[in-house]
Amino acid sequence: MLRNDLSTARYVTFAGSPFQRQQNFAAAQYLQDRWTPREALLIEAGLRADWNQIVRDFVWSPRVSVVYGPKWTRDTKFAAGYGIFYDALVLQTLARQDQTSYSTFFLPDGEPSGGPVPTAFQVNQRRLAMPRYRSVNLTAERKIAFDLFTKAAYTYREGSRGFTFIPEGTFYQLQSRRHDVYQALELSVRRTFAGQFEWFAGYTRSKARANAVVDYSLESPLFAPQASGPYPWDTPNRFLMWGWAPLSSRMLPRRLAFLVRETSVSFLTEYHTGFPFNLVNESGALVGPPNATRFPSYFNVNLHLERKFRFIHSLWAWRVGYNNLTNSGNANVVNNNVDSPEILPCGSGLVRAFAVRLRFLVKR
């Protein structure tokens, strides 16, 4: 790691084998059935059994879902689901134990100030348990005036025994100690018209937190105790709206109506809270709680026109328009070093762009 004046702040070397190898054998069985004990009531239930040679623990995953559309609640449907799930094992995490990195720190004048500090990972597979999750989903859908379909959904997902690395001396020991919770409330409305055109708008309020969110890395060591906080993909607020519709010939004089014939307009609007990230100093030590700072919020509008035409006994469509009309870059890179004079300028993703696309629809 270099400072702005190109002096070395931290130098990392590696020892051990650069190759990782881990194998696993897993087996699963699944049973599922459905019943309709009465009109407008559907029940589905399933049971899954899993085993793998790493944890060597036979686990059972029951699931059940219910859909009910009673006549006394006209144009309304209720759904609920409950299930227990076990995460598939990530072999890359289990294989992270054959190499050690050493961090040496330097003063601005080039003199060593500390280190080398080792970073190494240990995995004792006999101490691990299968990560377990409980999931609950509740949904209500109703058709209201003007052929609008509304939906309200709630999701609760709680995980236990998740894999996480815990500092123990100079090593990071993989343990089944992560507990996380995800909650989301989704409200949406949609409408379909003319048999093919659709409009949708939805808002989601969510929260994703865990008691162990510090992600330790061999290549760029982060020095901090394990701690709780939001996940890096946590976005408390998200709004999404999209749709497409034909252009009306009434918007132009009759002689010019051919300009909008077989032409439709489509759009997409998205807003979400910025993703969280860590702050560190030039030595790689965490500053403040993990994931306590967020990227700027993101707001984007896409707008396109599409015109259908027939060519060589086939139906085609030209689509032209702009992506990201707001020119709001979805920030995904940041200088998070608090010792840098240029802390927090964010690098963005795609900016405003003009797009042209030719689509083949169907052969006639």
Q: Which two tokens stand for residue 171?
A: 């090593």
| Burial (0-12, 13-18, 19+ Cβ within 10 Å), 221 | buried
pLDDT band at 59 (very low <50, low <70, confident <90, very high): very high
Q: What is the pTM assigned to this prediction?
A: 0.86
Q: Which two tokens stand for residue 167?
A: 């500092």
Please report, for the domain that includes residue 243, its CATH number.
2.40.170.20
- In the predicted model, is pLDDT for residue 31 greater than 90? yes
| Burial (0-12, 13-18, 19+ Cβ within 10 Å), 277 | buried
- Asked whether residue 91 is assigned to any structural domain, the reply reads yes
Q: Which two tokens stand for residue 14?
A: 């590696």
- In the predicted model, is pLDDT for residue 364 greater than 70? no
E strand spans, 19-111: 26-38, 41-52, 59-68, 76-86, 99-106
pLDDT of 8: 84
- In the predicted model, is pLDDT for residue 344 greater than 80? no
- Asked whether residue 109 is assigned to any structural domain, the reply reads no
Side chain identity at residue 223, one-letter code: F
- Asked whether residue 11 is assigned to any structural domain, the reply reads no
- Show the domain range for 286: 30-101+116-363
Residue bearing tokens 């004048």: 109
Which one is predicted more confidently, 257 or 233? 233
- Asked whether residue 63 is assigned to any structural domain, the reply reads yes
pLDDT, tens only, 196-205? 789 999 999 9
pLDDT of 74: 82
- In the predicted model, is pLDDT for residue 23 greater than 70? yes
- Asked whether residue 302 is assigned to any structural domain, the reply reads yes
Helix (H, G, I), strand (E, B) or coil at 127: helix
SS3 helix, strand, coil % of the chain, rounded to 5? 5, 60, 35
pLDDT, tens only, 63-101? 999 999 988 888 899 999 999 999 888 888 888 777 888
Cβ proximity of 319 and 359 under 8 Å? yes
pLDDT of 153: 98
pLDDT band at 1 (very low <50, low <70, confident <90, very high): confident
Least confident of 67-81, 152-166, 237-251: 237-251
- Asked whether residue 125 is assigned to any structural domain, the reply reads yes
- In the predicted model, is pLDDT for residue 162 greater than 80? yes
pLDDT, tens only, 274-294? 999 999 988 888 999 999 999
How many folded domains does the chain comprise? 1
Report, as an integer, the average pLDDT of 288-309.
Answer: 92
The mean pLDDT of the chain is 89
pLDDT, tens only, 208-224? 999 999 998 887 788 88
How many Cα neighbours within 13 Å face the side chain of 99? 18
- Asked whether residue 6 is assigned to any structural domain, the reply reads no
- Asked whether residue 214 is assigned to any structural domain, the reply reads yes
**What does the alpha-carbon distance between residue 78 and residue 340 come to, in Å, rounded to a whole number?**
54
For residue 56, give every residue at least 6 positions away whose Cβ sits within 8 Å of its Cβ, in sequence order, or none.
none
